Structure 1
Amino acid sequence: MRIKHSSHDSTHQVDQTHHHEDRSFERLKCLLNPHTQLDSYQIHIENVERTWNKLETMRTAGPDALEVVSDFDHTMSKFRENGVKIPSCHGIFEMDPEVTELARNKLKALTERYFPIEFDPALPVEDKIPHMIDWWSTAHQIIVDCRLHRKALEKTVRECNLVLRYAHAYQSIQSFDLC
């Protein structure tokens, strides 16, 4: 993670950046430590070693190699704005003109199957998790199989009317030069 400082002293900037990277990485290590009570963080990690390896790969590759799409459940975006339903990140992909009708039908069928499970108040979270993983994995593969072109997808994203919940938080993220 790079942090831009206003200081003109480049040594200070490198030291601060390195210190921040170490501190952030130490926090991640704490979260992934098998002795850490993850329940207190409300985190479920199916395979800690695999997750740790992925995080280490991302850390060593640096921020220029990182792209994140992480709003399949409207965590970061609003569900509705002025009475209009806002698409999730997978919903945005589904709006892309390169997504085939067959793929759209498959994605719709997945939603019809899994949406009631996701919001079933009688079903415990631990019973929902495998269904949600299956839903996300299957939907993701359907979208990948459409082989969308970056330029078309960029246009779709610009036109999708996405509304972020906490715009100030994303401005803070941009200040860390992560986007």
Structure 2
Amino acid sequence: VECLSSSFYPLWVIDFIIIITFSPFAGPPSPLFASISGDQSGKNQGQMEQIVVNGSETQVVVDDSNLLQKKISAIRLGGPAKLQVIADFDGTLTKYRIDGCRGQSSHNVLQQEDPEFNDKRQKLYEYYQPLEFDPTIPLDEKTKLMEEWWEKTHALLIEGGVTYSGIQNSVAKATIAFRDGVTELLELLEEKGVPVLIFSAGLADIIEEVLKQKVHRSFKNVRVVSNRMVFDENGHLQSFKGKTIHVLNKNEHALDMAAPLHDHFDDVNGLSEEKSALKKRTNVLLLGDHIGDLGMSDGLDYETRISVGFLNDRVEDSLESYRKAFDILYLNDSSMHGVLKLATHLCSTESD
């Protein structure tokens, strides 16, 4: 990778974002990227490269740098007032691996006191999870199966006697952590007045508790769009609010199904804007770790969307499809620092 002068590239790019592109630039270098250049003899253009940035290895792939540059320019022109961020939670905001081991997802953090119910939930997973990825099942039929799976799981949670204190204890013991740079990213977006929608087919209560325990603060611009529990006065789970949000309807349509945040989590987390005003924010920065996460912006008539993907595992198997799907792709459980620098640039009114 050629080291380029800071007179051509902003310092924030040199600090954290060095892009591996799959084709050489046709014109003058973009002010956002350093490309693979020089002698490429004997090398596959799509070959993986290790890049050491600030002492750590960062791998980033951009399939169409010219298109990305146009999108960045368009979003900067609209400014923060037209921008919203849509993010998946597990494996996107959170680390895929912690100390070399697979981290827990918000879905499997919760452990019920009676192990019988944990076993029943596991059996449901073993039955329905293969159906989720079965390409032979029509979408309408698969949607019904996912609704069935989620509703049975929720019924087991109610029957098994989940408590809010149990959620707090489960999160405290969980092997789950945010990517480095996530807190700074949320702080930046709060400062700029950019709303953040965290979409999840899991449990909002778990996600909010992870935010409380790991970040130790709330954000007035952050809203969790997920399945929300209803507790009685003694903190026992009684029911779920609204309609079920599952993997096939986890998108902006789910805003209509989302319930307000719990009073005890402080409603300052709720977006101050009405849903109609949110839909007027037609520029989107989308963060996900599965190609299906691109559907999170369904239901939003956006003008410009920059999609950032995190390919955490089995890179060689999925690189081709992921690099075509996402505008920017981070490999091997990268930090959030590159996205932080990108968001800073998108919200900046200063010229390069």
- Output the TM-score relative to the length of structure 1: 0.47
| Larger RCO, structure (CA 8 Å, separation 6 or more) | 1
Where is the strand percentage greater, Structure 1 or Structure 2?
A: 2
Bigger radius of gyration, 1 or 2? Answer: 2
Where is the helix percentage greater, Structure 1 or Structure 2?
A: 1
